[in-house]
């Protein structure tokens, strides 16, 4: 599944950045996708098992894409896939979708107490 590959990519990026240190927290920014945060969090936790990222808390920052309708002028975040096809207010299909659909590992928190032991 798409979410699984996503989670594995995030975990491997975190492992590289941690450079052997124990990770206690991940901050992940998800743009665009109307995805279930719980699915992503679980996927990350599964992918993290057995790595330095295991047992870290996952903090997801969701940034939905924005749709602007040329017919009624409505603009707002996309909350479901349908809103990327037609305007939720007037049903118009003359819409612009803006925003990024990047998934970025924004930051990690490492257990600094472990630093001296490495």
Residues found near Zn ion in the complex (CB under 5 A): 69, 71-72, 74, 87, 89-90, 92
Give min distance, CB of 105 to Zn ion, in A. 35
At closest approach, how far in Å is the CB of 100 from Zn ion? 23
Q: Which is nearer to Zn ion, 13 or 84 (CB)?
A: 84
Measured from the CB of residue 72, what is the shortest distance to Zn ion in angstroms? 3
Structure tokens at 117: 């032991």
Task: CB nearer to Zn ion: give 42 or 89.
Answer: 89
Least Å from the CB of residue 71 to Zn ion: 5
Nearer to Zn ion, 17 or 74 (CB): 74
CA 36 to chain centre: 10
- The residue among 25 and 64 lying less far from Zn ion, judged by its C-beta, is 64
Burial class (CB in 10 A: 0-12, 13-18, 19+), 5: exposed
First-residue to last-residue Cα distance in the chain? 36
Euclidean distance between CA atoms 22 and 47, whole angstroms: 15
- In the chain the beta strands, taken as DSSP E runs, fall at 23-32, 57-64, 66-69, 75-77, 95-98, 103-110
């Amino acid at each position: 599944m798409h979410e699984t590959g996503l989670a594995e990519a995030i975990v491997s990026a975190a492992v590289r950045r941690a450079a052997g240190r124990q990770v206690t927290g991940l901050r992940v920014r998800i743009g665009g996708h109307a995805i279930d945060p719980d699915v992503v969090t679980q996927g990350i936790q599964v992918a993290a098992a057995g790595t330095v990222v295991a047992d870290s808390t996952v903090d997801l920052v969701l940034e939905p894409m924005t749709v602007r309708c040329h017919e009624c002028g409505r603009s707002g975040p996309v909350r479901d896939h349908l809103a990327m096809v037609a305007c939720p207010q007037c049903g118009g299909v003359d819409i612009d979708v803006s925003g990024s659909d990047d998934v970025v590992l924004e930051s990690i928190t490492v257990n600094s107490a472990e630093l001296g032991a490495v």
